[in-house]
Structure 1
Amino acid sequence: EARKINSNLEQLILVEGYMDVIALFQYGISCALATLGTASSIAHLEKIFRHTNRLVVCFDGDAAGRKAAERLLENALPAMKDGREILFMFLPAGEDPDTFIKNKGKEAFLYEVEQAAPLEDELFAIAGRDIAMDSDAGVARFVSNALPLIAQLPKGIFKARIIRQLAERAGVTEQLLEEQLQQQRVNKPPARHNEANKASQPSARANQEKNQHPEMNISGPGQTGNAVAAHSNQQNGDGRNAKNNSPVNTAQTGGSGHNASPPLVWALATLLHFPQFAGEVEIHEQLLASKAPEAQLLGSLYRFIRGVLNDEGSAPTTYRILGHWHGTDIGRELGRAAANHTPAQDSNVALQEFRDTLQRLVEQQHQAGEREKALALAARNPSELSPEDKAFLLNLGKKSPGKA
């Protein structure tokens, strides 16, 4: 049905219930389809990818919705050939596509679609759940969780990109990760049939709808199981509906918990939610000079806000910032950060978290510099070390008891 309405089907939006599909269609969105609990298997996803290379998964933001998204992601990994794209969007707690579009309208819904997070962001969020990334043990656990997921991806550019991103997040080399993946292939355990079966089990809401309306259980030739197709004109959101009340995609950093995203991303999201912080906190130039993409993005945001502050005497709003970079790569990255990382609502708490995060980042940079220097000194002949070099190594060892 979606193909009949959209001859050039650029994307499909996957929702949980057929009532969501109907509501979206009523508002002119004609590329939606409903899982009714069955469209998350790899066979169904392969059918979806025959019609489009872009799938946006729109589930409720509650625990059940996120668990369903996690199962879908795990099943989708083997189907992620180069050129295919799966993105995830989670609606605020208590909302589903049906209620959201009726309460906030088509423009707001399409804006949320535009801000959907790519599969790799959701993968890293799952791998880093409840893990403190400010310790070596936490990073090791994060990598250990992420590698089995990455191992399921087919060989190609997409898989190589995710391995590179994992290496950057964990501060390790791609070669080390490749070796770990090779070792996992050698020791690959039997397939988890129980998990695969669980993935195809309908959610409570989908079961309820199927039982109440059996006439909507479509299963005919050429159709995707029980999926009900129909809806969405292409996204034309103007970016005015920021996701201020969206649930946090991963546990928050800086006093509200920790997540797998780099602290730089957290600082970026906080400054975007509270632009006035640029006038209250001076970000260390050493941090802004980092070559990390997130640091460069933070620098661009910080300097833009400071420029407006100097010219106009007050900080620009989040909407104005997003509008300034609307349609650009920077705008998309900022929108994604704002959507997936929500700081504390209390500005005083958020400000302290912001300060703490920046301080932690500067300390981490300093520690990284010390480690690099220590490695360089360790590679030299001990007889070539100066008294200052030896004192440096001795002091560094005292700072890290129990470490080599």
Structure 2
Amino acid sequence: MNNHQVIDSQNNLLASDDVVFTNANLVLGHEIVKGSLRVENGLIADIDTSGVISAGNSIDCEGDYLSPGLVELHTDNLERHLQPRPGAHWPPYAAISSHDAELASVGITTVFDALRVGSLPSEGKRGGYKKYAREVATNISFMRNQNMLRINHLLHLRAEICSETLLEEIEEFDQNDQVGIVSLMDHTPGQRQFRDTEKLAEYLRGKHSMTDDEIYAHFGRLRKLQQENGEKHNKAAAEMGRNLGAILASHDDTTQSDVVESVKIGVGVAEFPTTLEAARECNASRIGVMMGAPNLLRGGSHSGNVAAHELVEHDLLDIFSSDYAPSSLLAACVRLGLESGNMANGLAKATAAPAKAASLDDRGVLEVGKRADLLRFGLIESLPLTRGLWVGGVRVA
């Protein structure tokens, strides 16, 4: 055994300079093809659909799917680990490590960790929130540089337009932070995601135990902030995002005019449009439409907005995001693949499509010369079971 090869207790190859995956259902473009794939020095070196590639080290996939690793553009999962219960703050290194391990366990090889920038410190605990993104980003960078993370972590800054400190918080980031996405999020009550203000009131009662009087006062403060800062924050955050080299994303587009504004500032991805009207306008404007995988699996939006399956029926859904439930990403791709009769197209919603949207041209597809970020999974009664994950040719789960 050479110095680059590691074997686990089941004699499964974990990492090697040269390894072949044989007897696999390869997810190639828009089709599934039986074949073998060879990895060398962290890259895909050869793909053979006619026979078996010769190599000293091999893994028999036993007919399982071998797919590109999943690419996650928007997940709030890290925040859940940072604050597992209201008022309970977890040490950042421990939270990041747990988040990283969870994503690896469900097939994700690249993640854009969503961190909020823009806070409401003046409101205290009742509806207010403090800054945290810079500290967490510094911890992610340290762990990345020390090879403490299993998968690839990039940053997604969620710019809260309706806030007090947005611009000063974004200014704390530079191109060394690997910010790949900046999304412009306006949660002013009465529009976009919370056009139905009662849905927002339910959320605040449940998460923050706010009374109706407190909610009414909170809504008034948010609307005032939007009037004072909305236009200024939106324009400046977009410009800062471009200076960071990030793609811009809109959030919760609802009307045609929302999309028109997105086009003006150069948005490339629309996160969770709330209506069919907005999704159609995004499609016509060549803005990629992202929907939550939980929405598809649950059969609808928990906020009462347009259902993901409705966008699928109109061929308007481009990208899946796990949003708040990491395990939903692979499950939604598989369900879509089975229901449409094309597993490759289903998986592309979380591999090729998000990689292309984020300008990551070195991953997301099984092609010679691309990164060997690979997911092996099987199906048990239509449910996916992850059986192995490789990042740059090294097994991490």
TM-score (norm 1): 0.26
Whose helix fraction is larger, Structure 1's or Structure 2's? 1
Whose strand fraction is larger, Structure 1's or Structure 2's? 2
TM-score (norm 2): 0.26
Larger radius of gyration: 1
